[in-house]
Structure 1
Amino acid sequence: MDLHLNESFTLSVAINMGLLDHLEIISNVADIAGKEYSIETALLKMEADWKTADLQVMEYKETGSYIVKMDESLLQQLDDHIAMTQSMTFSPFKEPFEEKILKWESQLLLVSEIMDEWFALQRQWMYLEPIFSSPDIQTQLPIESKRFNTVNIVWRKAVGQAHLTPHILTMCSSKKLLEQLKESNKLIDMVQKGLADYLETKRLAFSRFFFLSNDELLQILSQAKNPLAVQPHLHKCFEAISELDFKIDMEIVAINSAEGEKVPFATTMQPIGNVENWLSEVEKKMKESILNQIKLSLAAYKKVTRTDWVQTWPGQVVLCGSSVYWTQQVEDAINQGNLQNYFDNVQVAQLMALTDLVRKPLLALARLTLGALIVIDVHARDVVQQLINEKVVKRKRLYKKQRI
């Protein structure tokens, strides 16, 4: 039957042609056509949705390169459209559009894969770019630097093209780009591993680096020729040490606490060589200098009054020196049998002198030292009182004749 659908083809004409005699067949054909039309409409709508979908390409800091962003709505749309297209492949009404459906599914899956690899590479590139732009790191990690440069070339070319052509379907239609991104991700993983191994060797060489995060340690290592780069992180490496004193020629002469207490080095040093090596030397100098301060303070204890002495030396040195002399004086008092006399005439007097001193105007550091020292002196007084109560005396040695 030859049909020409125009304004003259009305329902009456169709009935006269015998339409009602073929309702079941016509209904089946119409049902199938409707299902096929819904698939065609969905495909056309998806294509229309992606015609104006662009990547957001932005300049990244001062690198001369770019980074890309994709709206959450587009990412969700991509997932939804992939799921919708895959469901179409199982439809019994797909035949007229099967080739188109498969091609569209392949294109969306390619976009999804490329964007996954792209964002994975972008995260690592953004982290590693400032690290490997440092000449010091390039010198210390030549193999990793070479690998990163290879990745950097691919990355800059890809984002440069995205900047010129931000349309997602156009930009992400190349399987070659996908392979390049995959290979770059493999290379950059190797760079990350090499960097992690490098940081581990630095931490093993100077164990206090374990107190620093990777980023903090890299900030130091990327400025290896600048010893002052350690200053912001020093308090994490050495508890209670805030900074080092550097001369103009970078000679290190003293350590300082956060409260402003200074301990001069017994012998100064130069920060020569790798940072982990000269920081190890700094640690040795710290120990030597504290020991030297304690020795000097013990020698000075007998030459000045105790109230002047406690204000002259660093707090921990005062606490240590005071404990040394208290131990010596208590032992002497026990040996001489005049523990009560020591308690009445020396210990109580020292404690009262400190109490009077605290009432006077003092520097903040001196007041901190005295606060801790008075607590220790009160405890020491209680210990001596207990020794007196227990009637502690010098024990006589007993000698036994040995048989021959």
Structure 2
Amino acid sequence: MMTSLRAVTELQNPAIRERHWLELMKATGVKFEMTDSTTFSDLLALRLHQYEDEVKNIVDKAVKEMAMEKVLRELDNTWKTMEFTLEPHTRTKLPLVVVQEELIEVLEENQVQLQNMLTSKYIAHFLKEVTDWQRSLSQADQVIHILIEVQKTWSHLESIFIGSQDIRNQLPEDSARFDQIDKDFHDIAAENQKDLNVVRCTNRAKLNDGLENIKARLSLCEKALADYLETKRLAFPRFYFVSAADLLDILSNGNEPEKVMRHLTKLFDSMAKLKLTEERGAVIKEATAMWAKDGEYMTFPSPCDLSGQVEIWLNRLLEKQCETVRYHLTEAVGAYEEKPRDQWIMDFQAQIALTGSQVWWTVEVCAAFAKLEEGYENALKDFYRKQVSQLNALIIHLLTELTPNDRQKIMTICTVCI
């Protein structure tokens, strides 16, 4: 009697379903019907005390299956309401899918849950449902990752292949390829808007294949663009100093030097700005001077032609920069003896004054040694006294009112002299 009572008590577990009663009938060999009119004596008549182990196993199985039911019910409730959000693309306003971090976390967690359920020995009844969920969430995971990648690449290349006429002219075949990609991607984006539910949206027929196809074609466009940029970098190696985005901006504005000027500090260590020639209010493509980042100004010995392809005129500008420094250095060295050094250095830029001072220091040291060889014993002492006198004059000059650039120039020369 006690054994039967324990069995009856266990069978009152809310986890027991119709299928479990059928299993019990099969185990006991007795057919019965569970209704509201079933009495305690009816259950005792089943002789459950003879099948205590079977009852215990069936109840344990029912409890485990109820836990699975709960997980699957929560899964269903979660993904019924899980939706993508949309955000307009900056240039085209095309609505792009935004994937929240929370969505990715829930997706990964649920896939782990399903995988664990598949390893359970009680999975049989839920095998199809769990397998279907696993397939759906795996597809969602795969599509989300490729969609994010495709959206990112498309957003980057769209402004280049559609927004830049220069690139379209230089890469006509790849521009045509991107035009078709753009159309296909717009079609996918339009379909995404119709149903933002994550599972239904990502499990659309042929969506994954379509995205894979777009991704492959985008890779071809990226490679063509990278190869094109590499030819430009080889033509003007300082392009290696700038990012691909900056280089594209330089190339697309290559015929407008005033727009390229904002990138000069990235290409040249000190050059920040050019003085462009103007004629009747119109800018002519030639430069007559340059400014350094600290505001120093240096005129070119002759105008620099800024016409033609940007990598060509930037090479001309680089040559002109070197030519200009040599020109002004020659001027400075020639004018050194015309006035005291503390006044002389104020007539030239810092680099010219410093290099010119070192040139003359070398000349005067060699001259002092030559005099010493000729028998003039005080040659080096005289040179030393001259150096001290010049240094004192520079220190006195530092006490006067100077611009920050001039002060830095004199302090640097004093440091080198010491």
Alpha carbons 2:368, 2:383 under 8 Å: kept? no
Letter in 2 for 1:369: K
What does 1:209-248 align with in structure 2 at a 5 Å threshold? 209-247=239-277, 248=283
**Where does residue 44 of structure 2 map in the other structure?**
15
Q: Cα 1:377–1:109, aligned 2, differ >3 Å: closer, same or farther? A: closer
**Where does residue 319 of structure 2 map in the other structure?**
284
Q: Cα 1:307–1:34, aligned 2, differ >3 Å: closer, same or farther? A: closer
Whole-angstrom CA distance in 1 between matches of 2:69 and 2:399: 93
Question: How big is the shift at 1:334?
Answer: 4.0
What does 1:44-193 align with in structure 2 at a 5 Å threshold? 44-132=73-161, 133-193=163-223
Gaps of 5+ in 1: 379-404
Alpha carbons 1:245, 1:255 under 8 Å: kept? yes
Deviates more, 1:113-122 or 1:207-216: 207-216
Matched, 1:311 2:346: yes
1:266 to 301, 308, 323: 301
Alpha carbons 1:211, 1:237 under 8 Å: kept? yes
What are the superposed Cα offsets for residues 287-320 of structure 1, whole Å, 9 maximum, x if unpaired? 1111111222233334444443221111221222
* C-alpha RMSD over aligned residues: 2.8
Whole-angstrom CA distance in 2 between matches of 1:35 and 1:239: 71
Whole-angstrom CA distance in 1 between matches of 2:201 and 2:400: 77
1:366 to 386, 406, 410: 406
Number of residue pairs matched by the alignment:
378
Question: How big is the shift at 1:210?
Answer: 2.0
Report 1 or 2 for greater relative contact order, CA contacts < 8 Å, sequence distance ≥ 6: 1
Letter in 2 for 1:362: L
Secondary structure in 1 aligned to 2:206? Answer: helix
Q: Cα 1:26–1:204, aligned 2, differ >3 Å: closer, same or farther? A: same
Question: How big is the shift at 1:11?
Answer: 2.1
Deviates more, 1:22-31 or 1:250-259: 22-31
Secondary structure in 2 aligned to 1:225? Answer: coil
Secondary structure in 2 aligned to 1:166? Answer: coil
Whole-angstrom CA distance in 1 between matches of 2:179 and 2:242: 27
Alpha carbons 2:285, 2:307 under 8 Å: kept? no
2:362 to 292, 312, 327: 327
Letter in 1 for 2:396: D
Question: How big is the shift at 1:276?
Answer: 1.5
Question: How big is the shift at 1:8?
Answer: 2.5
What are the superposed Cα offsets for residues 58-100 of structure 1, whole Å, 9 maximum, x if unpaired? 1122322122223333322222332333344444444444333
What are the superposed Cα offsets for residues 310-342 of structure 1, whole Å, 9 maximum, x if unpaired? 211112212222333333344444444441574
Question: How big is the shift at 1:182?
Answer: 0.9
Question: How big is the shift at 1:282?
Answer: 0.4
Question: How big is the shift at 1:348?
Answer: 4.4
Question: How big is the shift at 1:239?
Answer: 1.6
Whole-angstrom CA distance in 1 between matches of 2:94 and 2:135: 30
Deviates more, 1:171-180 or 1:245-254: 245-254
**Where does residue 391 of structure 1 map in the other structure?**
none
Secondary structure in 2 aligned to 1:263? Answer: strand
Query: Could you tell me the TM-score, scaled by structure 2's length?
Result: 0.80
Gaps of 5+ in 2: 1-29, 278-282
Whole-angstrom CA distance in 2 between matches of 1:148 and 1:333: 72
Query: Could you tell me the TM-score, scaled by structure 1's length?
Result: 0.83
Question: How big is the shift at 1:23?
Answer: 4.3
Alpha carbons 2:290, 2:298 under 8 Å: kept? yes
Q: Cα 1:27–1:369, aligned 2, differ >3 Å: closer, same or farther? A: closer
Q: Cα 1:355–1:168, aligned 2, differ >3 Å: closer, same or farther? A: closer
What are the superposed Cα offsets for residues 110-162 of structure 1, whole Å, 9 maximum, x if unpaired? 11211121122123223333333222222233333333333322322222222
Whole-angstrom CA distance in 1 between matches of 2:120 and 2:314: 70
Q: Cα 1:32–1:271, aligned 2, differ >3 Å: closer, same or farther? A: same
Question: How big is the shift at 1:272?
Answer: 1.6
Q: Cα 1:344–1:44, aligned 2, differ >3 Å: closer, same or farther? A: closer
Alpha carbons 1:59, 1:66 under 8 Å: kept? yes
Question: How big is the shift at 1:268?
Answer: 0.9
Deviates more, 1:134-143 or 1:307-316: 134-143
Secondary structure in 2 aligned to 1:343? Answer: helix
Secondary structure in 2 aligned to 1:235? Answer: helix
Alpha carbons 2:233, 2:240 under 8 Å: kept? yes
Deviates more, 1:203-212 or 1:26-35: 26-35
Whole-angstrom CA distance in 2 between matches of 1:11 and 1:84: 40
